Amino acid sequence: MHELGITQNIVAIVSEHARGAPVKRVTLEIGKLSAIMPDAIRFCFDVCTQGTVLEGATLEIIEVVGLGKCRQCGTEVPLDQPFGICQTCNSVELDIIQGEELNIKEMEVEELCA
């Protein structure tokens, strides 16, 4: 399960940017074509955040749909897998333009009193 390593990296990046402040919420964007399972990330998040500034934080995941662009006619084609057929010209020459993302979109931290 490569999601464990990915989640460990996410926790490390968010922890670094939080600079010691407790994290309340993390929002990720995960593309449907990324070969990353959101449910596995959710499971690993609970394990990986124990004993960190992210412990108890809410994880929100936005799943980004797959989208390709036909090299022949320029039509944008929705994709459920990393290949497809253009409905306009029947070409199979598609460039993936959306759906392979893995982004930390937002993080919410608690303000620390000085």
Annotated binding site for Zn(2+): 70, 73, 86, 89
Task: Could you list the residues known to form a binding site, using ranges.
Answer: 2, 70, 73, 86, 89
What is the four-CA torsion angle of 92, 96, 99, 104, rounded to 10 degrees? 170
79 has which bridge partners?
A: 66
Task: Could you list the residues known to form a binding site for Ni(2+), using ranges.
Answer: 2
Tell me the helices (H) and strands (E) count for the chain, helix number first.
Answer: 2, 6
